[in-house]
Structure 1
Amino acid sequence: MNNLEEGKKGTEGGPEAEQCAMAAYAMEGVAAAALRSVTLRVQQAAERSSRQSDRVRVVAVSKTKPVSLIRQVYDAGHRCFGENYVQEIVEKAPQLPEDIEWHFIGNLQSNKVKPLLAGVPNLAMVESVDDEKIANHLDRAVGSTGRKPLKVLVQVNTSGEASKYGIEPSGCVELVKHVSLGCPNLEFCGLMTIGMLDYTSTPENFKTLSNCRSEVCKALGITEEQCELSMGMSGDFELAIELGSTNVRIGSTIFGPREYTKKNTN
């Protein structure tokens, strides 16, 4: 049964059901159009910084959004999606195509590592490794599954906000060394940060992450091209790209405002 047939079947409940179905189709159309707009803006931002747009990955953050809406964005050609909560990603991933590259971008608790890996075989990356403990848990769990090394980013708290997760910039190099040299089942790929919510110090946050990359590359003897920068979200992704981001996490600009109908937990 195709989507249209499913929609027709869903309208058998009467006018209210039909209105809900029409609203769902309208929202899905908006999401596809929004994805095209984001893609264009990414290309333009890359051009302004004399970079190739295909070197910038767009992670469509589907937090709180239904599988039907994710599928519509998938059908528009997108393959990289991100989730913040283990419960959500393990529920959604089995209902969607296996060629999706899932990024886990939220705070990861040690007791959720095994459920995450077991529930999402096509997990491509964990962007939020922020201490040795979680790195060790991931390393052991990946090793026990026999899967290939898992790509990870080290999350850095560049704004100094107590409410945010992430290693302090001063501890970044040591954590990266631990992941790179002490966790054979993890593949260190770069750094991640979250800018200030009101964007007042976002450029400084991004420049701090860039400085951390320079220190990491020097310490590990690698090139900057070997160390990704995941920075930039819906409100600041163009600036992030201009300042060197290779990975932007975009949610509401693609999917619309989030609706918290129930409490999400890791």
Structure 2
Amino acid sequence: MAVSLAHASVRRVLVSARGPSRVFATAAMEGEVAKALQEVTSRIGAAAAKAGRADRLPRLVAVSKTKPAEAVREAYDAGQRVFGENYVQEVVDKAPQLPQDCAWHFIGHLQSNKVKTLLEAVPNLALLETVDSAKLASKLDSTVAALGRPPLAVFVQVNTSGEESKYGVEPAECVALARHIQEQCPHLRFAGLMTIGMPDYSSRPENFQCLQDCRRAVCDALGLEEAAVELSMGMSGDFEAAIEMGSTNVRVGSTIFGARQYPAKAS
């Protein structure tokens, strides 16, 4: 996705943490978000060209986890429109502060009891990337129907690294979950597969290959064209390698917004 960049204004962002208020020196203060966004989109274009996909650029999801709405607005002013969040409360807080033409992706683990909160508060939620059970899919389906929303696009999350600490279905289970969504959830649209990768949030080629193999199995089982099923793989540390291996959706956070800022824990 080519992004046209404009000069973003310099901002000072006040962030409240536990205890005394602090002024964090965010990347947005110096217009660095716009600069970093331009660099990332250039790298995406180069990786896609190397893979022979210059005419089919992957979608960039700018992940603003722990970052204030002002930093997201800087990226928006620079031309970015697709943003990702890991936590329900963060996207619920930020989305109303930003233009409605933002397309939000939820990319964190979603508990069933937070589905209604998320779907009610974020009408411009475009895609939920982390469906990891039939129970969650069914809850999403019934809630979308109850709220009268249009069908919601979803990805099935696959645990390609085999780590117990990671969410996602085992590769052997992805066909069954995709079939459940396709056949039992009329208010959802199965749109692809997603993986996180290794413990350091980068992935080895075998993780990417595993997701490709899962897509092939799903498409064979459900009679789908592979081109119609997306692969969401690749983050700040490995998005170029992911693109070269077929990713259509990369999730980049710290490379655009700077290191994440977590509130100090109370002593």
TM over 0.5, shorter chain: yes
| Distance apart, 1:27 and its partner CA | 3.6
The 5 A counterparts of 1:183-222 are 183-198=185-200, 202-222=204-224
* Alpha-carbon distance in 1 for matches of 2:119, 2:175: 26
Decide which structure has the larger Cα Rg and report it: 1
Q: 1:115 to 1:245 in 2, by over 3 A?
A: same
Q: 1:260 to 1:24 in 2, by over 3 A?
A: closer
| Distance apart, 1:52 and its partner CA | 2.9
The gaps in structure 2 that reach 5 residues or longer are 1-7, 15-22
Q: Is the 8 A contact 1:107 1:128 kept in 2?
A: yes
SS at match of 1:58: strand
TM-score, scaled to structure 2: 0.89
| Distance apart, 1:201 and its partner CA | 5.6
Q: Is the 8 A contact 2:66 2:262 kept in 1?
A: yes
| Distance apart, 1:195 and its partner CA | 1.2
Structure-2 residue corresponding to 1:173 = 175
The structure 1 residue matched to 2:139, chosen from 137, 140, 145, is: 137
SS at match of 1:218: helix
The 5 A counterparts of 1:4-23 are 23=25
Q: Is the 8 A contact 1:231 1:249 kept in 2?
A: yes
The structure 1 residue matched to 2:226, chosen from 224, 227, 248, is: 224
Structure-1 residue corresponding to 2:256 = 254
Q: 1:221 to 1:36 in 2, by over 3 A?
A: same
One-letter amino acid matched to 2:195: T
SS at match of 1:205: helix
One-letter amino acid matched to 1:188: F
Are residues 1:102 and 2:82 paired? Answer: no
| Distance apart, 1:47 and its partner CA | 0.5
| Distance apart, 1:202 and its partner CA | 1.6
* Higher helix proportion: 1
* Alpha-carbon distance in 2 for matches of 1:200, 1:30: 24
For these two proteins, the number of residue pairs brought into alignment is: 251
Structure-1 residue corresponding to 2:3 = none
Structure-2 residue corresponding to 1:234 = 236
* Alpha-carbon distance in 2 for matches of 1:223, 1:216: 10
Deviation readout 1:59-112 (Å, 9 max, x if unpaired): 000000000000000000000000000010000000100000000000000000
Runs of 4+ deviating beyond 4 Å: 3-7, 23-26
The structure 1 residue matched to 2:67, chosen from 62, 65, 68, is: 65
* Alpha-carbon distance in 2 for matches of 1:5, 1:39: 21
Aligned-residue CA RMSD (Å): 2.3
SS at match of 1:55: coil
Q: 1:208 to 1:24 in 2, by over 3 A?
A: closer
One-letter amino acid matched to 2:134: E
Identity %: 61
